[in-house]
């Protein structure tokens, strides 16, 4: 096609700094030259032929070889975007945004025009968009409005090896679409060589391998286990920085934003302490809620004579490629969801990575030259303690959300849905039970009107239910603000160590008026709105501007969705009872009661849990006897994050099919009931019928 012309001229090569006529290359010409040096470029024609000749193609290539950024462009260049969009899914938000930004730059177009991205609560596409990057979760939602993906000529399910829940569910759905849409091309792309499994699932689809070259990577283990991997990581980075030659950047794998921020802080301090005796060390954190200009910093070339250290999570394992990395520091841990279908408890836990993940991590050091990987654990531990492979997310997560989506897509028989690796049956049954308890499914397991409305919201079913229930209690405005604040994916409060007391006071000020953390979030939001979204006000009150701005965006969208599903907007900001009842309508599963010893026990499982230190209800003089929590987080203990105090009789009023008088009878007495009939017979039976 015509567009491919600028890719074919002028001839690229690793030593082609000049344009014809000896003038210097423009920035864009330089980018084009870079495109041609990527490993996939040599196979462009073969790849396009394979797509032409096969409906489903499994592609495999090393991380950084150009699959994500180049393949959709190749398809665009030869005309696939003339008959529909070329879509490409990513398991992570950051990757979808960053890759789309890169590709729009390569195509010399404004982001959001020809090239765009779509992630939850943020749509950066337009009518002009023909190459669209999106999270796998967003594509699932798109299926609700376009079940045949009619607007797409090609869909690339990228990072398939990550096996996220959404990607796994997509496999079954897109496979079905490819059966009845012969014009639809499907590409499954993976960074690891276990492509056979993908090929088999897609009826023995052809596997296309992009050969890549990897330089050797020296693996160095610690002699003894590290007591504190964060501290060990800092020391290792500093040692590598001082003793290893430049150029050669460092990539550190940590488990989450908080850790990344701490590590960045310590590294900045210590290198400042060393002053000019060492080369400059540029500390570059990367995580989802980092502003995009700072995210972009990790890709900027390191100035000569200095070194860059990138601090990231497993996002840097395969989703993002940063050029110039020669040293990898692998803590051996990542944060992983874990789910116990019996108790229904889901938590994020810092977990040892698998051997496969650790190998991926070390591989990041050998892309452009020989490298080194410092594993902060022992060789024995690698051999004997790490699992071979990461368990697919579908086998360790709550599926409520996905089950509601599948039901909305008209897929009723979930036990016969084509899963690559099926979820444990208890997980499916638990999800059905929970949706039934929320009123989203009837006793035959069919979607109810309420369920249909709930599915419209890109929220967890418990939150969707809360929003819809708020109508009854006349506090939709307030609940929308709270839900938006809970969904902004970031801490709302800012607590600098040297101002901790001031910050805590500011936070507790918002707590006045009751309603626990939920009431607090509402007041923060409302007061911010009253100041006309003042940034200064945020500074003065130790509130994160970015979080509030995001919450504002989310809230706007949720309000739009309310209109669509005909939830009437109402408001009553001073009446906490209605708000607490709305929260209880969605979260009655997450109820805990104070025990004699002063900690809390969940009503359902008598599981011991604690109020998170960040909660305004933490260490209160008059702690609530009963509360509903938003989520559990496991760090040193099982913590309830975001709590609101409730009255036990509401449970029977709001969820009579779930709680009976007996469950709450002892609320006055200090003793806990021995047996809690939380799951009534009435709901277990029909669900079994559904499953069978």
Using CB under 6 A, list all residues that contact ligand ADP. 38, 61, 63-70, 98-99, 101-102, 299, 321, 323
Distance CA 629, CA 586 (A): 11
Shortest Å, Cβ 248 to ligand ADP: 16
> Binding partner of residue 72 among ligand ADP, Mg ion, none, CB under 5 to 8 Å per kind?
none
Shortest Å, Cβ 318 to ligand ADP: 6
> Binding partner of residue 98 among Mg ion, ligand ADP, none, CB under 5 to 8 Å per kind?
ligand ADP
Phi-psi region of 245 (alpha: psi -120 to 50; beta: other; left: phi over 0): beta
**HSE on the CB side for 90, CA within 13 Å?**
24
Of 68 and 336, nearer to ligand ADP (C-beta) is 68
Distance CA 678, CA 568 (A): 32
Shortest Å, Cβ 182 to Mg ion: 28
Whose tokens are 């309603």? That residue is: 515
- Contacts of residue 622, Cβ cutoff 8 Å, sequence gap at least 6: none
Of 68 and 585, nearer to Mg ion (C-beta) is 68
> Binding partner of residue 358 among Mg ion, ligand ADP, none, CB under 5 to 8 Å per kind?
none
Of 178 and 318, nearer to ligand ADP (C-beta) is 318
> Binding partner of residue 64 among Mg ion, ligand ADP, none, CB under 5 to 8 Å per kind?
ligand ADP
Indicate the helix (H) or strand (E) that contains 447.
none
Distance CA 635, CA 390 (A): 21
Shortest Å, Cβ 113 to ligand ADP: 17
Of 65 and 255, nearer to ligand ADP (C-beta) is 65
> Binding partner of residue 157 among Mg ion, ligand ADP, none, CB under 5 to 8 Å per kind?
none
Shortest Å, Cβ 215 to ligand ADP: 14
Shortest Å, Cβ 131 to ligand ADP: 13
Distance CA 373, CA 252 (A): 10
Whose tokens are 């500011």? That residue is: 506
Distance CA 365, CA 611 (A): 41
Shortest Å, Cβ 197 to ligand ADP: 19
* Residues of the shown chain interacting with Mg ion in the complex, contacts defined by CB under 5 A: 68
**Nearest to residue 362, comparing CAs of 209, 215, 190?**
215
Shortest Å, Cβ 212 to Mg ion: 12
Of 70 and 401, nearer to ligand ADP (C-beta) is 70
Of 105 and 534, nearer to ligand ADP (C-beta) is 105
> Binding partner of residue 234 among ligand ADP, Mg ion, none, CB under 5 to 8 Å per kind?
none
Distance CA 406, CA 100 (A): 28
Of 46 and 421, nearer to ligand ADP (C-beta) is 46
Distance CA 654, CA 658 (A): 9
Distance CA 522, CA 483 (A): 9
What letters, b where the CB count within 10 A reaches 16 and e where it falls short, cover 26-39? eeebeebbebbebb
Of 219 and 288, nearer to Mg ion (C-beta) is 288
Shortest Å, Cβ 118 to Mg ion: 17
Shortest Å, Cβ 321 to ligand ADP: 4
Report CA-CA distances (Å) from 275 to 264, 271, 279, 306.
17, 6, 9, 13
Distance CA 1, CA 9 (A): 14
Shortest Å, Cβ 362 to ligand ADP: 16
> Binding partner of residue 584 among ligand ADP, Mg ion, none, CB under 5 to 8 Å per kind?
none
Shortest Å, Cβ 70 to Mg ion: 10
Contact 159, 317 (CB under 8 A): no
> Binding partner of residue 602 among Mg ion, ligand ADP, none, CB under 5 to 8 Å per kind?
none
Residue ranges of E strands in 191-332? 206-210, 217-221, 249-253, 281-285, 307-312, 325-330
> Binding partner of residue 241 among ligand ADP, Mg ion, none, CB under 5 to 8 Å per kind?
none
Shortest Å, Cβ 38 to ligand ADP: 6
Helices (H), 151-228: 165-180, 195-201
> Binding partner of residue 321 among ligand ADP, Mg ion, none, CB under 5 to 8 Å per kind?
ligand ADP
Indicate the helix (H) or strand (E) that contains 672.
none
- Contacts of residue 202, Cβ cutoff 8 Å, sequence gap at least 6: 56, 58, 171, 175, 178, 186, 188
Of 60 and 165, nearer to ligand ADP (C-beta) is 60
Polymer length in residues for the chain: 692
Shortest Å, Cβ 129 to ligand ADP: 18
Of 102 and 175, nearer to ligand ADP (C-beta) is 102
Of 352 and 366, nearer to Mg ion (C-beta) is 366
- Contacts of residue 83, Cβ cutoff 8 Å, sequence gap at least 6: 153, 183
Of 193 and 379, nearer to ligand ADP (C-beta) is 193
> Binding partner of residue 38 among Mg ion, ligand ADP, none, CB under 5 to 8 Å per kind?
ligand ADP
Minimal CB distance to Mg ion: which residue?
Answer: 68
Whose tokens are 């997980």? That residue is: 427
Helix axes 476-487, 576-587, angle to 10 degrees: 50
- Contacts of residue 609, Cβ cutoff 8 Å, sequence gap at least 6: 592, 599, 600, 601, 602, 629, 632, 637, 638, 639, 640
Of 34 and 349, nearer to ligand ADP (C-beta) is 34
Of 155 and 664, nearer to ligand ADP (C-beta) is 155
Give me the sign of the Cα torsion angle 169, 171, 177, 180: negative
């Amino acid at each position: 096609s015509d567009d491919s012309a600028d890719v074919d001229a002028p001839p690229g090569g690793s030593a082609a700094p000049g344009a014809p006529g000896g003038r210097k290359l423009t920035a864009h010409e330089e980018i084009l030259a870079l495109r041609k040096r990527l490993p996939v470029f040599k196979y462009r024609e073969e790849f396009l032929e394979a797509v032409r000749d096969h409906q489903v193609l499994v592609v495999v290539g090393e991380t950084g070889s150009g699959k994500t950024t180049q393949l959709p462009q190749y398809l665009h260049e030869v005309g696939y975007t003339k008959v529909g969009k070329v879509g490409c899914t990513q398991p992570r938000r950051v990757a979808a945004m960053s890759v789309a930004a890169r590709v729009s730059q390569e195509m010399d177009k404004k982001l959001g025009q020809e090239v765009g991205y779509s992630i939850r609560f943020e749509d950066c596409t337009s009518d002009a968009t023909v190459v669209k990057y999106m999270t796998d979760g967003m594509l699932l939602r798109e299926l609700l409005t376009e079940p045949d993906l009619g607007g797409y000529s090609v869909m690339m399910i990228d990072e398939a090896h990550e096996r996220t829940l959404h990607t796994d569910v997509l496999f079954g759905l897109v496979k079905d679409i490819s059966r009845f849409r012969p014009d639809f091309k499907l590409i499954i792309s993976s960074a690891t060589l276990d492509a056979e499994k993908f090929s088999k699932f897609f009826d023995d689809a052809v596997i296309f391998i992009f050969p890549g070259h990897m330089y050797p990577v020296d693996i160095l283990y610690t002699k003894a286990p590290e007591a504190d991997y964060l501290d060990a990581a800092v020391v290792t980075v500093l040692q590598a920085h001082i003793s290893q030659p430049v150029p050669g950047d460092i990539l550190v794998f940590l488990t989450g934003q908080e850790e990344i921020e701490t590590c960045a802080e310590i590294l900045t301090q210590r290198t400042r302490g060393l002053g000019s005796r060492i080369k400059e060390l540029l500390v570059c954190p990367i995580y989802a809620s980092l502003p995009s200009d700072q995210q972009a910093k990790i890709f900027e070339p390191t100035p000569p004579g200095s070194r860059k250290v990138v601090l990231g999570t497993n996002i840097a394992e395969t989703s993002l490629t940063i050029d110039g990395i020669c040293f990898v520091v692998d803590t051996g841990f990542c944060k992983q969801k874990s789910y116990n279908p019996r108790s229904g408890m889901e938590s994020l836990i810092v977990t040892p990575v698998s051997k496969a993940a650790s190998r991926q991590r070390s591989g990041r050091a050998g892309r452009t030259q020989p490298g080194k990987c410092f594993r902060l654990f022992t060789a024995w531990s690698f051999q004997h303690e790490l699992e071979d492979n990461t368990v697919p997310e579908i086998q360790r997560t709550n599926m409520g959300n996905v089950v509601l989506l599948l039901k909305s897509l008209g897929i009723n028989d979930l036990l016969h849905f084509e899963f690559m690796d099926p979820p444990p049956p208890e997980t499916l049954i638990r999800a059905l039970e929970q949706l039934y308890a929320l009123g989203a499914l009837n006793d035959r397991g069919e979607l109810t009107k309420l369920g249909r409305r709930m599915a419209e919201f890109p929220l967890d079913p418990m939150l969707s239910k809360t929003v819809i229930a708020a109508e009854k209690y006349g506090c939709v405005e307030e609940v929308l603000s709270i839900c938006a604040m809970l969904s902004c994916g970031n801490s709302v409060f800012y607590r600098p160590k040297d101002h901790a007391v001031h910050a805590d006071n500011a936070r507790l000020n918002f707590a006045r008026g009751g309603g626990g953390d939920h009431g607090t979030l509402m007041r923060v939001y409302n007061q911010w709105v009253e100041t006309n979204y003042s940034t200064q006000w945020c500074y003065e009150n130790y509130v994160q501007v970015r979080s509030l701005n995001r919450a504002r965006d989310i809230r706007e969208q949720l309000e739009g969705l309310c209109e669509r599903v005909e939830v009437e907007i109402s408001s009553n900001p001073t009446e906490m009872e209605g708000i607490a009842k709305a929260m209880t309508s969605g979260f009655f599963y997450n109820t805990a009661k104070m025990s004699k010893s002063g900690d809390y026990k969940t009503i359902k499982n008598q599981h011991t849990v604690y109020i998170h230190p960040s909660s305004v209800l933490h260490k209160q003089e008059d702690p609530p006897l009963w509360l509903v929590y938003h989520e559990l987080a496991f760090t040193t203990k099982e913590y309830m994050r975001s709590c609101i105090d409730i009255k036990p009789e509401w449970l029977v009023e709001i969820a009579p099919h779930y709680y009976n008088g007996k469950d709450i009878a002892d609320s006055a007495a200090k003793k806990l009931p021995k047996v809690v009939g939380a799951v009534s017979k009435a709901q277990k039976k029909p669900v079994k019928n559904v499953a069978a």
